Amino acid sequence: MILKRNVKLFFVIIIVTLLIDQISKLLIVNFLTPFDPPANVIGSFLRFKLTYNPYGVFSISFGPNILYYIFSIIGIFILTYVGLSLKDRTSVIVFSIIIGGALGNIFDRVRLDYVIDFIDMGIGNLRWFTYNFADACITVGAIFLLSRELFCKKKKTSETS
């Protein structure tokens, strides 16, 4: 059952997340080119380097491009239903951030046929995959939900024992 009190908050956060993602990508594309050396933000630990990712998460190919759309759209519908059905406002916020991030990457794919990535983190030659604000929202949201699920279940189980 969808709770009407969560609808406004849910969609406002989705729109804000989507706007931040798209504006950050627009700014990066206007200031960097894919052939520029990385721009240091916090030394070499955090830097900006423009890349175009035609593949999926972590630049891994999952097959034909249509799969990226199908998986994303199915995921968005499921997360929207679940997010709007929750009573807990924190969960509603987290689900909306994840959906906003997914929509940001879908907009890139529809508009450009690839995703704009630019955040490059690491130490020396040990670097994480280049990502964007949308990817960060999806990842942080998923980690939050998983960790809360693991730790809250253990806490509830130990309280009932």
pLDDT in tens, the chain (161 residues): 566 778 889 999 999 999 999 999 999 999 999 888 999 999 999 999 999 998 877 677 777 778 888 888 999 999 999 988 888 889 999 999 999 999 999 999 999 999 999 999 999 889 989 999 999 999 999 999 999 888 876 555 455 55
135 is catalytic: yes
CB 103 within 8 A of CB 18: yes
Q: Give the relative orientation of helices 65-85 and 4-31 as an angle to the nearest 10 degrees.
A: 140
Q: Can you give the pTM of this predicted structure?
A: 0.86
DSSP states along 38-76: PEEEETTTEEEEEEEE-SSGGG---SSHHHHHHHHHHHH
Q: How many structural domains comprise the chain?
A: 1
Q: Which of 21, 108, 117, 120 is catalytic?
A: 117
Q: Which of 21, 108, 120, 135 is catalytic?
A: 135
- Which residue range(s) make up the domain with 132? 4-160
117 is catalytic: yes
Q: Which two structure tokens, joined as six digits, stand for 45?
A: 């630990």
pLDDT attached to residue 117: 96
Cβ count within 10 A of residue 157: 9
